[in-house]
Amino acid sequence: MGEMTDKMKAAGNKAAGAVKDAAGKATGNERLQAEGKAQKAKGTVQDVAGSAKGALGDKI
């Protein structure tokens, strides 16, 4: 169950981050663009964590 939750959070953060990144780039807002890149990176970390939980099962 933890793996699915992490994967869903990861997908949400990656999508929201991509939107912020694109909006920041389109408007020249470097802060928004940086926030988007950071949020996408957070989603990537959550995705890896979810994969690790799935591989290790209940051991973590």
Task: Tell me what the pLDDT averaged over the chain comes to.
Answer: 89
Indicate the pLDDT class of residue 2, thresholds 50, 70 and 90. low
30 domain residue, yes or no: yes
What does 11-57 look like in DSSP terms, one character per residue?
HHHHHHHHHHHHHHHHHT-HHHHHHHHHHHHHHHHHHHHHHHHHHHG
pLDDT at res. 49:
86
**Structural domain contains residue 14:** yes
Q: What is the domain extent for residue 29?
A: 2-51
Give pLDDT tens digits for 17-30. 999 999 999 999 99
- Residue 35: predicted pLDDT: 98
Q: Where does the pLDDT of residue 59 fall: very low under 50, low under 70, confident under 90, or very high at 90 and above?
A: low
Number of domains observed in the structure of the chain: 1
Residues 6+ apart with CB under 8 A from 24: 30, 31, 32, 33, 34, 35, 36
Whether 41 maps to a domain, the answer reads yes
Give the per-residue pLDDT at 16.
97
